[in-house]
Structures are given as structure tokens and as C-alpha cells.
Structure 1
Amino acid sequence: MSALNLQPEKLYHLYNRGNNRETVFHTPENYRYFLTKLRRHLTPHLRILAWCLMPNHFHLLVQVREAADLARCSTDLRLLLSSYTRAIQKEQGRTGSLFQQHTKAKELSTEQYAFMCFCYIHQNPLRAGLIRDISQWVWSSYPDYAGLRGGTLCHKELATALLDLPTDAEQIALLIKQTMPADVKDWLF
């Protein structure tokens, strides 16, 4: 068992935020650098099904690979966060923790729970009031699922199968928008 308590082939919602809710992504280059490190450190262990980077936190919907080295996965997650932190400390002239001490890993035990997490991750920028239309946020996998970008970080085919998603990009985009909570819809539309 790893420090994250991950198990092979299970789905998880991984997330962490800035220490004291501080900003962790200041520039587009910061977002890109984090994604590069994410690909390098985590994709050998995890299949990423959805992701969203927010100014002060991140969300990942992942499936643990069958033959994942779980202890190494935890180590590589720590390497990702610590090396990103060092880069931001240097860039911003700061010291101390950037992220909260523990990254959360919530098991998604049912298809419905995983589907709602998939939608929630993509709706996050709307819920936070950062944008008025989901397609405006480029720091998530939504543009890939909506057919607006051809990103390769997500395993879209696996997500489609596991979450029973439509195969048509327009249908997925509509589905994500339709599952928006009423209180968010009220102030958006």
C-alpha cells in the first residue's frame, strides 16, 4: 500500500491546494510546467481520465495502472510537487510550503460517483466564477473532451468506457453543462 492508499485498477479523485489557499499557478508557463511534470512523474503509474488546474489547486481523475509500483507512485507525486514548489519559490522569491502537506486521494467506488466527479472537475472554473463558459478554461481536459483541442494527457477512450460517456464531443460538452448544479446555473444564465 502506498502513502496515498491507492489500489490497482481503481478510480480516484486526487487533489491538493495551495498552502493557506495561496495561488500556486501564477502564469501560463506555471500551468504548462506543472502539466509537463505531471506527465513525466505520474503517467507511468496512473491513467489520467480528467484534470483541471485552478489558480490555487488541482484536480485529477485517475485510474491506477494494473502493474503500478504504488510506493514509487507516492514518491513520484512528492517529487512532482516538491520540484514544482522549488521552481515557484525561485520564480516568486518565496520560501516555505507551496502545497498543503497531504494530497487527497478519494476512491470513486461507483460509476455514478466517478461520472459526477468527472463533471465536477470540469465545472470547477465555472463554480469558482473564473469564467462564464466552460470552454473558456484551457487549464483542464474539458477542451479535449469537447473537441476543441487534441490533448494527449487524458485516456479519453478509457474514460468513455468506464464512465459510460457519449463518444460525440458535442454530447459530452452538453452532458457536462447539464449536470451543473441549479445554484450555479442561476447566476450563469
Structure 2
Amino acid sequence: MQFREDKLYHVYNRGNNQQHIFFKPENYIFFLRKVRQYVRPKCNLLAYCLMPNHFHFLLQATSDSVLTKQGQLITQTELSDGFRQLLSSYAQAINKQENRTGSLFAQNTKAKLVGCHETKIDYSLSCLNYIHQNPVQASLVQVLKDWPYSSFPDYANFRNGTLCSKDIAYQLIDADWINFIQFSSGLLPEDIAVQLY
């Protein structure tokens, strides 16, 4: 994954062969602790949603994100290495828990640029809504606030989470933050969802 300072990215991955990556509620919490440890110090995390077989993040790359570090075989950015550490440590714990071996995640975590001043196209608000709407679209819950493994309850003031940099999101994403619950609950048009992938 390549990152450029100050740019917004949609980062996502899924279970290998679309298999589950979270098996019980404690797994989601453990994963978020690993996010706080390995990813959050290296970027501005703006939004997230963890689903049974995949995850989504909306983040802003910072100067810390793009610093490079030399590994044994490759050179990668600090943020890419943070995601590598997150997925590796989480996979080891789940493999032990589930008495399994092999890859838990698909090989390549994707990072798509969603806000780009060069092209004058900004999908950051659509991406934010898309990420938060995943549990409703997958029929896991009826309303967004009922999915606890998402940043939606934090932005809707149902929870006082500290994982996301909400103040930065308020500055970077052109949204009706006062009416956040109403605008977030609308369905994302199919053509925008396709453009995000």
C-alpha cells in the first residue's frame, strides 16, 4: 500500500476465501485494540466498520504514515507496516483461538484514494456513509446505531469513543454534521458504491 501525506484513503480487506475473521464479540474488541496500537499512531483514523468477514477504514495519511522503513526484503511506509503488524498479530491470535492454520486475510489489503484535489473529485462523504451503512446493507442490524463495531455510534453521539479523530473528520469531510444521523441513514446510490471499489 502506498500513501501520500494529507490524502484520504479507504482501506479494506476481507477474510481469505471470504471466510469469517471475527468469531465472537471479543474478537472485534481485540482487533480494535490492535488498531489502536499499530495503526492509529501512524495516521488520522476517521471512520471504521468491522464486519464478520471484512473491515473498512477511512483515514488520512500523515507525515508519520509516509515515513519509510527498511524491512528484510522490502521497503514500506510506516502505515503499511502498521497494517501488516495489525493483521499478522490478529491472525496469530485467531488461529490459536480457532485451532486453525494458514492465512486469515486475503493477500492484499487495498487502499483507495477517496479525496483528491488534483481531479476535483471527493468521495470522502460517500465513503464515510458507505462504511457506516455496511451492517444495515448486510442485514446484521435494522438501524446503524445498533452495530457496535463501527464508528457511527461515536459520530451520532450514542457513544464517546476515542479511536477516531472526529475533530479532523469535521474539518476534512464536507458533511451536514448537525444532522449526521439523518444524512447517514440514507442509502448510498449504487453507482457511487461501485466507484468506491
Indicate whether the TM-score tops 0.5: yes
Matched, 1:172 2:169: no
Matched, 1:22 2:19: yes
In structure 2, the partner of 1:7 is 4
Matched, 1:149 2:149: no
Structure 1 unaligned blocks of 5 or more: 183-189
Q: Give the superposed CA RMSD.
A: 1.5
Q: Percent identity?
A: 45
- Whether the aligned pair in 1 keeps the contact of 2:11 and 2:111 (CA below 8 Å) is yes
More strand by share: 2
Structure 2 unaligned blocks of 5 or more: 69-76, 191-197
Deviation at 1:181, TM superposition (A): 4.3
SS at match of 2:127: helix
TM-score calculated relative to the size of structure 1: 0.89
SS at match of 1:44: helix
In structure 1, the partner of 2:96 is 90
Return the alpha-carbon distance in structure 2 between the equivalents of residues 98 and 60 of structure 1: 18
Query: How many residue pairs end up in the alignment?
Result: 177
- Whether the aligned pair in 2 keeps the contact of 1:160 and 1:166 (CA below 8 Å) is no
TM-score calculated relative to the size of structure 2: 0.85
Which residue identity lines up with residue 50 of structure 1 in the other structure?
A
Return the alpha-carbon distance in structure 2 between the equivalents of residues 163 and 76 of structure 1: 24
SS at match of 1:35: helix
Matched, 1:72 2:78: yes
SS at match of 1:131: coil
In structure 2, the partner of 1:117 is 127
Deviation at 1:165, TM superposition (A): 2.4
Return the alpha-carbon distance in structure 2 between the equivalents of residues 94 and 154 of structure 1: 32
